[in-house]
Structures are given as C-alpha cells and as structure tokens.
Amino acid sequence: MTLTVTVITRNEARVIARCLESVAWADHIVVLDSASTDGTPDIARKLRAQVTTSLDWPGFGPQKNRSLEMATGEWVLSLDADEWVTPELRKEIEVAMREPGTHTAFRLPRLSSYCGRFMRHSGWWPDYVTRLFRRGTARFSPDLVHERLIVDGTTGTLQASLMHEAIVDLEDALHKMNAYSTAGAAMQFERGKTGSLTSAALHGAWTFVRTYVLRRGFLDGREGFMLAISNAEGAYYRYLKLALLGKKRQ
C-alpha cells in the first residue's frame, strides 16, 4: 500500500522540517504552500516534498481539498505543519493500511500543547481527528476554519497519538484567536446567523465555564486557565464580529 502525506503551509519555516521528517518514510509528500516568504518551500523541497504554490487563500477546507487532488498514493495522511507523527503512530498507520478491515478511514487521538504544556483536559484530549483515509473516499468540508473530513464509509480508531504544537506563546494565541474569530464570524454570517453584544457576552462566559469547569481545565494548571480565557475571548469576538457584519448589511 502506498501513502501520500499532504500538508498546507504559509510561513511555517519554524515547524515544517519536524513535520516532514516525521513522515519521511511515506511514498509521496505533497506541500501546497500559500506564498510563504520565510523559506518554507525550500525547506520542504530539501526534504523531498512535491511543492506547489497557491497565490490565493480560499480557506482551510478548500485548500486541503486542493492538496488532495495532488495525492497519488492509495492512502492519504493529511497533516498540519505544526503536527508530527511518532514512531508508534507510524507503526499503527502501516498496519491500518495493510489490514484496514472494513474501514475506509481512521481517526487519530491528537495530543496538543498550549504555551509549552501538553493538555490532558480542557476538551483537548483525546482530540480525535480523522486524517488517514483511502484516496477518493473522503474530502474536507468547505469551511474556512475548523474544517472536518467527510468520509464515504466507516471510520476506525488508532491508539497512538498524533502530536500537535497548537499554541506556541501568547502572541500566537492572540493571533490565532483574532484570525479564527474573523473567519468563524464570516462563515456564520454566510449561513444567515446573527449576533449581538448580549450573545457575544453569553457565549464567551459559557465557553469559559465549559472549558475550565465542565471539561476540567483546572487540572491543566496555569495553562488550563489561560486556555479557558483564550477560548472565551474567541467566542466573544466571533459573535461580536458577527453582530458588526449584520450591522454593515443594514
């Protein structure tokens, strides 16, 4: 069974080598780059990836579907640039491809770090993501952010973790919160949703309670509290931006 690994990138020079080196055993590696200016494509080429440049940015879902069109392997493993595969996960992937049973796709438990701490609570573990699948049996949803894989067939579950450096520091947290809340508001607006100052405040408060209390974020120590605040801010600004989009339409 042959495997293509697909990765979409933009200015990922800090992490792309770790990602690609962890899957150097794959038969084919595709990197679809969005006009990086930090040398990401050169690093990827040195690690034998097939690199293609995309000058526009249609959103995470559409961009990942573009990368799937370049895959040639019988199986596809879709990764983000800040993720990497452990030797234990590699062994499970190879077994899954060789003996898939009735499954056309597999989900992986993702272990993510926030400001240097791997989070075992807060709703971040086990963060199952479906990333391994037979080529031609799945596509990503067209969402701008928080895209999901839509599978035609059954999905199995692997046990070894996919590693993920989600948030490096507070500057990274603020940048992603702002970008994701903007994209999230745009998606909801296109779907006819509306927002208000009240809904923004309520969603922000509920998100903090859900992350820190219901999902036991307090067990993740200082970083658990920081993550709960970040999640709350993201929800607050998403609905506030949604309200402002509605106001502009009036």
For the segment 48-107, what is each residue's pLDDT rounded down to a tens digit?
999 999 999 999 999 999 999 999 999 999 999 999 999 999 999 999 999 999 999 999
What is residue 250's predicted lDDT score, i.e. its pLDDT? 64
The predicted model scores a pTM of 0.93
Domain final position from 166, 187, 220: 166
Residues 32 and 104 in one domain: yes
Over range 110-119, report the average pLDDT. Answer: 98
Decide if 71 contacts 28 (C-beta within 8 A): yes
Number of domains in the chain: 2
**Which distant-in-sequence residues (6+ apart) come within 8 Å of 43 by Cβ?**
13, 16, 17, 20
Query: CA-to-CA distance for 196 and 100, rounded, in angstroms?
Result: 48
Residues 240 and 162 in one domain: no
- Retrieve residue 169's tokens: 């520091």
Better-predicted residue by pLDDT, 248 or 173: 173
Residues 218 and 134 in one domain: no
Residues 114 and 75 in one domain: yes
Residues 195 and 74 in one domain: no
Residues 119 and 186 in one domain: no
Residues 197 and 91 in one domain: no
C-alpha torsion sign, points 135, 138, 144, 148: negative
What is residue 32's predicted lDDT score, i.e. its pLDDT? 98
Give the residue numbers spanning the domain of 207.
169-249
CATH code: domain of residue 117: 3.90.550.10
Binning pLDDT at 50, 70 and 90, where does residue 247 land?
A: confident
**Which distant-in-sequence residues (6+ apart) come within 8 Å of 109 by Cβ?**
125, 126, 127, 128, 157, 158, 159, 160, 161, 162
Residues 200 and 105 in one domain: no
Residues 79 and 97 in one domain: yes
What is residue 249's predicted lDDT score, i.e. its pLDDT? 74
Query: Mind listing the pLDDT tens digit for each residue in 8-17?
Result: 999 999 999 9
Domain final position from 113, 139, 166: 166
Residues 95 and 34 in one domain: yes
Instruction: Kindly report the three-state secondary structure assignment for every residue of the chain.
Output: CCEEEEEEECCCCCCHHHHHHCCCCCCEEEEEECCCCCCHHHHHHHCCCEEEECCCCCCHHHHHHHHHCCCCCCEEEEEECCEEECHHHHHHHHHHHHCCCCEEEEEEEEEEEECCEECCCCCCCCEEEEEEEECCCEEECCCCCCCCEEECCEEEECCCCEEEEEECCHHHHHHHHHHHHHHHHHHHHHCCCCCCHHHHHHHHHHHHHHHHHHCCHHHHHHHHHHHHHHHHHHHHHHHHHHHHHHHHHC
C-alpha torsion sign, points 167, 168, 174, 175: negative
pLDDT of 196 strictly over 80: yes
Angle between helix 221-249 and 197-209 (nearest 10) = 160
Residues 159 and 193 in one domain: no
Residues 139 and 43 in one domain: yes
> How many CA atoms lie within 13 Å of 63's alpha carbon, on the beta-carbon side?
24
Domain final position from 140, 166, 192: 166
